[in-house]
C-alpha cells in the first residue's frame, strides 16, 4: 500500500506526465493523446474519435473547471507544443453525465502535492489485486479506495504501479458508461503544457 500511497505524489514530483486517455462513449469512443502538468493542474492534447464519433476531433485543453476545444479537420498525431492563438471554444467541465469530462477530471486528480495516508487506504477499500506487465515493465495491480469528491467513479479504480511507486496505468469506471476509462502513462514523450490563450492554470 505504500507504493499506492506515493503514486499520485510521484506524478506531482515529476511535474507532468505524458498520457493517453481512452474514453468510452456510446458512439464509439474518444482517445486523447497529450500531457498533464500536475503542478499547474492543466491537461493538453489531441482528441480523436474512434468508430463513428469523429465530430470532436481536434485539440483539447482542460483544467478542473473548464474544457477548451479547438476543432480541426486534419488532426495531427501530436498536439503542437505551442497551442494555436485563436479559435478555442470554452465550456464548463461537467462533473457528471459526460464520460469525457469524467475522464478528464480523473486524469487531473492523479497528481497530489503530498503522499496519501498508507494506513487509511486499506480501510477505504484499497487492495492488492495481482501482477501484470505494462510496456515491458513488471507492475503490481491495486484496486484504489473509494474516490473522495469524484462523483461517478463508484470507487472502482485500478492502478498499475511500478516498484518505485510510478503509476503506469489507471482504469476507472464512470457512471455513464459500461466500459471503463483507461489512462496510460508514458505512451509518448512528455511535452511541457503551455496554456492556450485565455486558459488559466488552477494552482
Domain range for 71: 2-185
> Once rounded to an integer, what is the mean pLDDT over residues 124-149?
83
For residue 195, being part of any structural domain is answered with: no
**Count of domains in the chain?**
1
Query: What is the share, in percent, of the chain residues with pLDDT greater than 70?
Result: 91
Structure confidence at residue 98 (pLDDT): 87
- Summarised one tens digit per residue, pLDDT across range 145-174 is 755 545 444 448 899 999 999 999 999 988
For residue 194, being part of any structural domain is answered with: no
For residue 202, being part of any structural domain is answered with: no
Structure confidence at residue 199 (pLDDT): 78
18: which residues sit within 8 A by CB, 6+ positions away? 34, 35, 185, 186, 187, 188, 189, 190, 191
119: which residues sit within 8 A by CB, 6+ positions away? none
For residue 22, being part of any structural domain is answered with: yes
Query: What's the number of CA atoms in the CB half-sphere (13 Å) around residue 9?
Result: 13
What backbone phi and psi angles, to 5 degrees, belong to 12?
A: -65, -40
Q: 167-195 b/e with 16+ CB inside 10 Å = b?
A: bbbbbbbbebbeebbbbbbbbeebbebeb
For residue 192, being part of any structural domain is answered with: no
User: Which pTM value belongs to this model?
Assistant: 0.91
Query: What is the share, in percent, of the chain residues with pLDDT greater than 90?
Result: 60
Structure confidence at residue 149 (pLDDT): 47
For residue 127, being part of any structural domain is answered with: yes
Domain harbouring 73, CATH code:
2.50.20
> What region does 121 belong to: left with phi over 0, alpha with psi -120 to 50, or beta?
alpha
- Summarised one tens digit per residue, pLDDT across range 11-47 is 999 999 999 999 987 777 899 999 999 999 999 999 9
For residue 25, being part of any structural domain is answered with: yes
Nearest of 193, 203, 190, 173 to residue 68 by alpha carbon: 193
Provide the grid cell at 97: 453525465
Q: Pick the residue with more confidence: 101 or 174?
A: 101
Structure confidence at residue 202 (pLDDT): 61
Structure confidence at residue 25 (pLDDT): 77
For residue 13, being part of any structural domain is answered with: yes
Amino acid at each position: 500500500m505504500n507504493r499506492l500511497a506515493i503514486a499520485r505524489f510521484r506524478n506531482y514530483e515529476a511535474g507532468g506526465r505524458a498520457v493517453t486517455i481512452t474514453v468510452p462513449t456510446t458512439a464509439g469512443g474518444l482517445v486523447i493523446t497529450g500531457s498533464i502538468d500536475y503542478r499547474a493542474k492543466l491537461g493538453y492534447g489531441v482528441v480523436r474519435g474512434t468508430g463513428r464519433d469523429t465530430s470532436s476531433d481536434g485539440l483539447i485543453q482542460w483544467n478542473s473547471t473548464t474544457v477548451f476545444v479547438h476543432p480541426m479537420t486534419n488532426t495531427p498525431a501530436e498536439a503542437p507544443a505551442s497551442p494555436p492563438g485563436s479559435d478555442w471554444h470554452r465550456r464548463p467541465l461537467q462533473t457528471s453525465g459526460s464520460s469525457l469530462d469524467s475522464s478528464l477530471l480523473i486524469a487531473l486528480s492523479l497528481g497530489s502535492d503530498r503522499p496519501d495516508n498508507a494506513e487509511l487506504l486499506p480501510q477505504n477499500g484499497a487492495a492488492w489485486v495481482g501482477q501484470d506487465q505494462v510496456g515491458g515493465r513488471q507492475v503490481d495491480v491495486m484496486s484504489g479506495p473509494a474516490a473522495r469528491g469524484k462523483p461517478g467513479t463508484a470507487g472502482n479504480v485500478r492502478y498499475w504501479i511500478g516498484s518505485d511507486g510510478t503509476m503506469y496505468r489507471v482504469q476507472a469506471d464512470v457512471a455513464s458508461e459500461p466500459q471503463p476509462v483507461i489512462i496510460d502513462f508514458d505512451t509518448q514523450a512528455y511535452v511541457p503544457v503551455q496554456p492556450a490563450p485565455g486558459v488559466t492554470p488552477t494552482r
